[in-house]
Amino acid sequence: MPGFELFSDLERKEVNDVLESGVLMRYGFDGARNGHWKAKELEQELQRILNVKHAQLTSSGTTALNVALAVLGVGAGDEVIMPTFTFVASFESILAAGATPILVEIDDTLTLDPKAVEAAITPKTKVVMPVHMCGSMADLDALKAICDKHNLILLEDACQAVGGSYKGKKLGTIGDAGCFSFDYVKTITCGEGGAMVTNNATLAKNADHYTDHGHDHEGNDRGAESHPFLGYNFRISELNAAVGLAQVRRLEDFVAIQRKHKKILKEALATITEVSFRRIPDQEGDSAGFLSFFMPTKELTDKVIIAFKAFGVDAYWNYYQNNWHYVRKWKHLKDKISLFPLSNQIVNGMQDLNTIQFPQSDDFISRNISCLIKLSWTEAQVHERAKNMVAAIKSVL
């Protein structure tokens, strides 16, 4: 990842179809679009590739989460369990729904710890939201069992794991609904875009309406359509969908490249006794967008990061120091800083994130380094990178 590294004439052809028709909106203007319906085609391709009954495109991965929570009936007074390690969109979407985010520990998968999830359940809990971070999956068997036991909704945030799978099923299709991001730095990109997928026909129908101001999309006169309920403008444009349409048809090739490159790097680092790797519940289902590993201590991890710079190794993250992905630096969430007043249910229902401790998460994240797997590397470049990574790590041991 990301897919923009391999833009080609395939993407240009799909975009030119839209530009030549002049119709950039996904709905209406039937006569002028010359038969081009890029958003509809992309939804159909997603359904085929993911083996899921319904896919609804949105303007981003964040709005895909907004839509999913809305159609699942999540709102004021509900609690949504989410991990301490994710992207800020997870809690943003929960707050936008009027619900309360409840943060819990991650484990060595770098995703939700099932034991922490079970311990956090209250009578207000409605949703468990695992986030398949850095290309790999949460322990979905354990999480699904918890949801079934407590009659909770399982909502998969698969925004960073398109193309991954778990025991033969594509990530995002195992829970009640799943969400994807196709922003500029994802394995397949629309530039900006996302999707909610589900096998539930009612959820899918409501998502179709909700993303377009509540339009029911019945008949062929957009101005005469009714609005069965409130909705918002979370539509994707035909231009964005056109890019994604070309990219999604290349997804299997992209994932194969990622897996090939990651295997070379992982085998090289595995020769170092002090290096351990994140646990992946289904190795065969790893989308391989990242190589995530641990050093024995935070101090050694910090030294490796400095050494990587000295040895010319780029495109890696230590999320412990990151503002976007780990609870430690989410000051705006901790202090509940909002441009609009948050409801009393949220203010009074949230954990005090300035005092609560997440020692298990701190341990894993402070010792973790996650390296991006680029699609554009040549095999020679991957081997050179592997050599430099090994040399950098050994230099501090």
**DSSP structure class, residue 264:** H
At 326, give phi and psi (nearest 5°). -135, 140
- Packed helices 9-21 and 238-248: angle between N→C axes, nearest 10 degrees: 150
Angle at 138 between CA 124 and CA 52, to 5 degrees: 90
C-alpha to C-alpha distance for 50 and 55, rounded to whole angstroms:
9
Give the three-state DSSP class for 57. Answer: strand
Which are the contacts of 61, defined by CB distance < 8 A and separation ≥ 6?
89, 159, 179, 180, 181, 182, 183, 194
Of the listed 186, 263, 331, 334, which one is catalytic?
A: 186
Torsional class of 288: left (φ above 0), alpha (ψ -120 to 50), beta (otherwise):
left
Q: For this structure, is 167 an active site residue?
A: no
CA–CA gap between residue 79 and residue 14 (Å, rounded)? 42
Closest CA to 2 of 141, 170, 222, 182: 182
Provide the annotated active-site residues.
Answer: 186
